[in-house]
Chains A and B, each alone.
Chain A
Amino acid sequence: MKSARTAWLFLAPTLILMVIVALWPLARSIWFSVTETQINNMDASRFIGLGNYFGEFGLFTNAAYTDGFWASDWGISIRNTFKFAAVSVVLETLAGLGVALLLNQDFKGRAWVRTAVLVPWAIPTIVSAKMWQWMLHDQFGIVNAWLEKLGLISQKIAWTAEPATAMWTVIAVDVWKTTPFMALLVLAALQTVPKDCYEAAKVDGVHPLRVFWKITLPLIRNALLVAVVFRLLDALRVFDLIFILTSNSSSTISMSGFVRREMVENGNIGFGSAASTSLFLLIMLCAVLFIKAAKVNLGEQTK
């Protein structure tokens, strides 16, 4: 018996669990955002309306923001997050496309390179943060040592501490770690492109760049964009990499980092929840805008 009733019955455990562990906490978090609640005594929460957002000490309007909203910690964390997400996703997409095109060629040892590419992806984020922190160490790091030896820098650079380089360091480490993910998804899409397309183009003597632009890219467009959506959403919620690599310093702190700092370290559950709710809405908005603007077809898979 295959009926809608069986379907819902089979889905029931999943749906009930998701309501308890995801929907309910989300609803409670949104509720906390309109209350004043301290972490030590969460029962004593008091409804204050939109005070955490727009009140005297609110996220978006605040008497203490004498240098304007974008200079506040929250404003900075929004700017940091979007800069990180935009730059790292663009670089990862380009690098991923490059590596995928390389792996799609025939050459000896291709299997080895494909396996090697999996290594950065398999390394946990915390480990990659720690290992790059070590390699980029200002005094003992191997990167500074080599750059000095090659004469590219005259004095050692504190990559993760210097405000001018910290964000770029975070982006570089993320690109190193996540390009394999992009490359694998793009490679899988490239392998679905029928070989005759290329052969026909070759017979007609079409320039390889034109082949890429007119045949390959349109055919892998949707897969590429789906991968970009995944990465974008992942990058916008970044926390652990920045938390470890630059210790959440103000030049790199992300929105997720800001939320955790307010809630856990400062104990302001209400204010932190207002930030987390804003972050949730911002990310949703971005996802919807991107999917609409790029006409990504997610529905095709849900057929």
Chain B
Amino acid sequence: MNQRPLWGTITLYALAAIVFALSVVPFIYVLASSLKTGNAIFEPTLWPKTPSFDNFVGLFSGKQPFGRQFANSVMVATITVTFAMAISLTAAYALGRIRFKGKGLLLLALLGVSMFPQVAILSGMFELMQVLGIYNRTLGLVVPYTVFTLPFTVWILTTFMRDLPGELEEAAIMDGCGPLRIIFQVFMPLLWPALVSTGLLAFIGAWNEFLFAITFVIDDTARTIPVGLGLIAGDNTFELPWGSIMAASVIVTIPLLLLVLVFQRKIISGLTAGAVKG
């Protein structure tokens, strides 16, 4: 492949440029729109003549509790992920390192739950949350979020757990270590990268969740930020405040974008661990 004809090289770079532009330009336009105020927002120019941060300032002083909603999202996603990871560690050890009957079926069932349609449990979950007294509470969302987060973290951690060297474990058993000590003292140092990738992916999933968040929380101050963004309305029903919406979009996206770009190798290894390894 090192001797490519000239036209091949040109096509290759042209395609690469197109893919690059298609991926990046839309978000740059969002960024640009968020910096346009007044009538400038209605001019389809790629970059504003006089950038201003008014839209961002307005978000945090407007009638919508935007800062609060941001904090809600951080809190719910962090607690959901921490909780799921803590529980899935031992489960992943059992599924990844111990032979027992029914394991294959169990793994398939977990995969099934993480992929099944969330609406299928909407009414049952609605009832459960009311019974538990967590309906319309931000932190109550941890319960429905566990439905898709826990099977996901177990599944991904299992594939990582399976790839750890067996000699280490054997040596530890020789030394008289029990399974709990093997997980937390022998495997833990090796598992850190896997924990980071799994945690990041689970965090992204919880941060972006919309259906449960819009259904089970109805107070504006208790809502998560994707719902807050989805429901931004203007002073009248015909005119949406596009500048504020774009500014809010930037705020919702930037934390994720930074996480993904900084940890891109980890994210990719986590994404592919569940799907590609044979």
The secondary-structure label for the interface of chain A is helix
Q: Are B230 and A102 in contact (CB under 8 A)?
A: no
A90 within 8 A of partner (CB): no
- With a cutoff of 8 Å between Cβ atoms, the chain A residues found around residue B146 in the complex are 17, 21
Cβ contact within 8 Å between A25 and B125: yes
Chain B neighbourhood of A207, CB < 8 A: none
Chain A's nearest CB lies how many Å from the CB of B220? Answer: 16
Query: CB distance A6 to B94 under 8 Å?
Result: yes
With the chains together, A221 CA to B215 CA distance in Å?
39
Q: Which residues on A sit within 8 Å (CB–CB) of B196?
A: none
Interface size class of A (residues with CB under 8 A): 35 or more
Q: Does B66 count as interface, using CB distance less than 8 angstroms?
A: no
Please state if B29 and A135 are interface contacts (CB–CB under 8 Å). yes
B199 CB contacts on chain A under 8 angstroms: none
User: How many whole Å from B102's CB to the nearest CB in chain A?
Assistant: 9
Known: A1-B179, A198-B1. A302 touches B123 (CB 8 A): no
* Contact yes or no, A276 B179, CB < 8 A: no
Bound complex: CA A185 to CA B273 (Å): 9
Tell me if A188 and B272 are in contact (CB < 8 A): yes
Shortest Cβ distance from residue A116 to the other chain B in the assembled complex, whole angstroms? 4
> For the complex, is B30 an interface residue (Cβ under 8 Å from A)?
yes
Least CB distance from A33 to B in Å reads 8
Residue pair A131, B26 in contact (C-beta under 8 Å): yes
A260 touches B113 (CB 8 A): no
State the CA gap A99–B97 with chains docked (Å): 36
- Which of A4, A117, A120 is the one whose CB lies under 8 Å from B98? A4
Task: Flag the segment in B48-56, B57-65, B85-93, B186-194 that touches A.
Answer: B85-93
Complex alpha-carbon distance, A141 and B101, angstroms? 58
A210-237 at interface with B (beta carbon < 8 Å): 222-223, 226-227, 230, 233-234, 236-237
Q: Bound state CA distance, A227 and B271, in angstroms?
A: 11
Tell me the chain A residues, 88-142 only, with Cβ under 8 Å from chain B: 99, 102, 105-107, 109-110, 112-113, 115-127, 129-132, 134-135, 137, 139-142
Which residues of A lie under 8 Å from residue B71 when comparing CB positions? none
Contact with A along B92-131 (1 / 0, CB 8 A): 0111011111011011101101011111111111111010
Q: Quick one: closest A residue to B261, CB to CB? A: A115
- A299, B104: Cβ atoms closer than 8 Å: yes
The residues of B that contact A137 with a CB separation of less than 8 Å are 242
Q: Mark B137-159, 1 if CB is under 8 A from A, else 0.
A: 00000011011001100100001
Chain B, Cβ-Cβ closest to A123: B253
The answer, yes or no, to whether B222 is at the interface (CB within 8 Å) is no
Contact check, B123 vs A122: say whether CB atoms are below 8 A apart. no
Known A8-B100, A28-B128, A109-B16; contact A21-B277, beta-carbon cutoff 8 A: no
A294 CB within 8 Å of chain B: no
B208-234 contacts to A (CB < 8 Å):
208, 210-211, 215, 226, 229-230
B119 touches which of A112, A131, A239 (Cβ 8 Å) = A239
Residue picked from A3, A11, A122, most chain B C-beta under 10 Å:
A122
CB-defined contacts of B184 to chain A, threshold 8 Å: none
* Contact indicator B245/A302 (Cβ below 8 Å): no
- Is A2 an interface residue when CB atoms closer than 8 A count as contact? yes
Chain B, Cβ-Cβ closest to A139: B42
What are the residues of chain B within 8 A of A115 when measuring CB–CB? 261, 264
A-contacting residues, B1-47, CB 8 Å: 1-2, 9, 12-13, 15-16, 19-20, 22-24, 26-27, 29-30, 33, 41-42, 44
If A4-B98, A4-B100, A42-B127 touch, does A123 touch B121 (CB 8 Å cutoff)?
no
Could you tell me the distance in whole angstroms from the C-beta of B56 to the nearest C-beta in chain A?
A: 15
A-chain residues with CB within 8 Å of residue B259 when the two chains form the complex: 122
Contact indicator A122/B147 (Cβ below 8 Å) = no
A49 to B: closest C-beta gap in Å: 18
Compute how far the CA of A126 lies from the CA of B230 in the bound complex, rounded to whole angstroms.
7
Least CB distance, B228 to chain A, in whole angstroms: 10
State the CA gap A227–B124 with chains docked (Å): 30
> Is B19 a contact of A113 with CB atoms below 8 Å?
yes
- Tell me if A181 counts as interface (CB < 8 A to partner B): yes
Contacting pair B252 A260 (CB below 8 A): no
Chain B nearest CB: distance from A225 CB in Å?
Answer: 10
Check A18 for interface membership: any CB of B closer than 8 A.
yes
Give Cα A109–Cα B20 distance, bound, in whole angstroms: 10
Assuming A29-B124, A301-B159, what are 18 further A-B pairs, CB within 8 angstroms?
A4-B100, A7-B100, A10-B179, A14-B150, A18-B150, A21-B143, A31-B124, A117-B23, A123-B27, A129-B230, A131-B26, A184-B271, A188-B268, A188-B276, A192-B276, A227-B275, A236-B117, A259-B119
Give me 10 A-to-B residue pairs in the complex whose CB atoms sit less than 8 angstroms apart, sorted by A's number. A99-B19, A102-B15, A118-B260, A123-B256, A123-B257, A181-B271, A237-B117, A240-B211, A240-B226, A301-B107
6 residue pairs, one from A and one from B, having the closest CB atoms? A25-B124, A28-B124, A237-B117, A4-B100, A280-B120, A188-B272
